[in-house]
Amino acid sequence: MSVVRTTPVPPDVDIAQSADIKPISDIASSYGLEEKYLEHYGTDKAKVRLEFLSDRQGQSRRGKYIDVTAITPTPLGEGKTTTTIGLAQGLGYLGKKSIATIRQPSMGPTFGIKGGAAGGGYSQIVPMTDFNLHLTGDTHAVSAAHNLCAAAIDARIYHESRWSDSYFEKFGLKKLNIDPYSVLWRRVVDMNDRTLRSIIVGLGGLENGPLRETGFDISVASEVMAVLALATSLDDLRRRIGKIVVALDKSGKAVTTEDIGVAGAMTILLKDALKPNALQTLEEQLAFVHAGPFANIAHGNSSITADLIASEISDFVVTESGFGSDMGFEKLMDIKCRSSGLMPDAVVLATVRALKMHGGGPKVTPGKPLSSAYTQENLELLRAGLSNLIAHIEIIGKYGLPVVVSINAFPSDTKAEHELIRDAALKAGAFDAVISRGWSLGGEGCAELALAVDKASSQPHKANLLYPLDMPIKDKIEIIAHEIYGAGTVVYTPEADAAIGKYTDLGYGNFPICMAKTQYSLSHDPAIKGVPRDFDFPVREVRLSAGAGFIVPITGEISTMPGLPSKPAFIGMDIDTMTGRITGLS
């Protein structure tokens, strides 16, 4: 271990910054990942060249593939990343070669609510400060590529309004006749900024283009980020980027990045971002940190390239899907696994604190002290919330996969609470339910979890997908709403209905569904806890992500641009200008 454990457990950033981090070359070589495949960013992180995969073609090694998901979380999270890193370390503790593959966090939530996303306690990825901030610049590359496209669209509209067809023919171009009021492509920035959700462009005179309403999304909601995570090679990336539909022309036909001529330039900006980032855990397991699509407004999983490389050089690949099993896990199965060809061998379901919230506990608000209901034994409240755990076990069961429930131990938990959760999980069909102490004990504290996962992943099983792609778009939406969320009737606005008809007519009806909804409820309404049933499920808007290859129904009041809370996490962050030591990240 690169750090000495102490009691009580220090703040995450103190643990991470006290770690003796090995050169990433040493970590990679212990997995058989040769130096020639590494592109270094300092001594403690590197990108992995995709030539590794082409050079390995024909070799049959494949590590077991484990996904870590969660019950419906509180705004503080359920320790899912800590479980992911702890499990990878726990497998290492048992002598297995394990690799964690997780997303790079957006700086919006880092400075907004979360304060960081590298795990916690003695189950972290290091260097933690780099992980939580710029890392190797992938998110900046996504933002630049996305916004280059936005600028190209507005420039084309402006110049086509000024010049004749013959003028464009001189340059080997033809007019695209983009409808300024049917532009589908917004701009992005990797910060939480609610004032940018709806804006007007073209102000200041005709020389600035036509007036039209648009807005900003957070960068990790960009289709470019989704494409980066799903692409399997540079050629696949270029092909997907060229398929992105950015607008409709005045006859209602799709206009793509290829039509505008910007697809090649966008791919150039992304060529290095496509290579996974190699870091390490506190216990010196390899960790790939790559891509960062949100799970509530995008597909919520790390990159396929990272998983493919990891599966070639490890016994276990431990990945993490965002938020609960209704969100990132469903999208892992129905979107990511369709593209990668990798199917999970077992699923870990992280749980504990949120169960009391689902049982009727007080509201949990970031930045405010937890109610005593969450810090003292309350079996009645816990028992009332167990239905949410059971619902998530049932969701995973629909995909035919064995599930191990990880009971994340918080210092205030009691033995009686843990036993109640374990009993309910086993009765609901979980393969096992074990206490996880990765936060306080690192890999040693996750050894029992690792053993259970090893056994579960060896069980005979057949993974299922929820729906066939040739179903109509509405049927696919409704299967997810009924089977995963427990909804009754799906209600579409006229705008959503029209978009579904348009995208079907344009030939995109066979895409999978990437639902955008709240992560704080199985329903569309974050205030509805527990296990709601037979509610009306509203679809207010439907977007097309043709490059990523999915349809995005937007439900309830979910926003693709978060806002900052009244006391943002950045208020507690600072840097010692003498030592460079960062404080406040967690």
Q: What is the pTM of this model?
A: 0.96
Q: What is the pLDDT of residue 60?
A: 65
Amino acid 411: pLDDT = 86
Pick the CATH number of 473-555 from 3.10.410.10, 3.40.50.1110, 3.30.1380.20, 3.40.50.720: 3.10.410.10
Q: What backbone phi and psi angles, to 5 degrees, belong to 64?
A: -65, 145
Residue range 117-169, pLDDT digits in tens: 899 999 999 999 999 999 999 999 999 999 999 999 999 999 999 999 999 99
| Model confidence at 77: pLDDT above 80 | no
CB–CB of 197/183 below 8 Å? no
- Rounded distance, CA 540 to CA 511, Å? 19
State the CB neighbour count (10 A cutoff) for residue 427.
12
Q: Is the pLDDT of residue 576 over 70?
A: yes
Distance CA 417, CA 137 (A): 43
| Tens digits of residue pLDDT in 386-401 | 999 999 999 999 999 9
pLDDT category of residue 489 using cuts at 50, 70 and 90: very high
Q: What is the pLDDT of residues 446-467, one digit of tens each?
A: 999 999 999 999 999 999 999 9
Separation of alpha carbons 560 and 562, rounded Å: 6
Lowest-confidence range among 226-230, 310-314, 558-562? 558-562
Helices within 271-414 (DSSP H only): 304-313, 330-331, 337-340, 353-358, 372-375, 379-397
Over the Cα atoms of the chain, what is R_g?
Answer: 24
Strands 119-120 and 346-351: what pairing? unpaired
Cα(462)–Cα(43) distance, rounded to whole angstroms? 42
User: What average pLDDT does range 99-103 have in this prediction?
Assistant: 98
Topology classification of domain 12-33+47-136+273-457: Rossmann fold (3.40.50)
Q: How far apart are CA 293 and CA 232, in angstroms?
A: 16
Q: Where do the domains of the chain lie?
A: 12-33+47-136+273-457, 138-270, 473-555
Q: What is the pLDDT of residues 317-372, one digit of tens each?
A: 999 999 999 999 999 999 999 999 999 999 998 877 789 999 999 988 877 888 88
Architecture field, domain 138-270: 2-Layer Sandwich (3.30)
Mean residue pLDDT across the chain: 95
Amino acid, res. 507: G
The yes-or-no verdict on residue 542 having pLDDT over 70 is yes
Q: What is the predicted pLDDT for the residue at 216?
A: 98
| Catalytic machinery residues | 80, 82, 103, 114, 295, 323, 410, 439
**Alpha-carbon distance 361 to 354, whole Å?**
9
Nearest in space to 319 (alpha carbons), one of 297, 343, 351:
343
Bridge partners of 216, per DSSP, are: 187
Query: pLDDT tens, 162-184?
Result: 999 999 999 999 999 999 999 99
Which pLDDT tens digit goes with each residue over 44-72? 999 999 999 999 887 766 899 999 999 99
Tell me the pLDDT tens digit for each residue of 498-524. Answer: 999 999 999 999 999 999 999 999 999
| Helix, strand, coil percentages in the chain from 3-state DSSP, rounded to 5 | 40, 20, 40
What is the C-alpha separation between 502 and 404, in angstroms, rounded?
Answer: 42
Assign residue 446 a region: left if phi > 0, alpha if psi is -120 to 50, beta otherwise?
A: alpha
Is the pLDDT at 1 greater than 80? The verdict is no
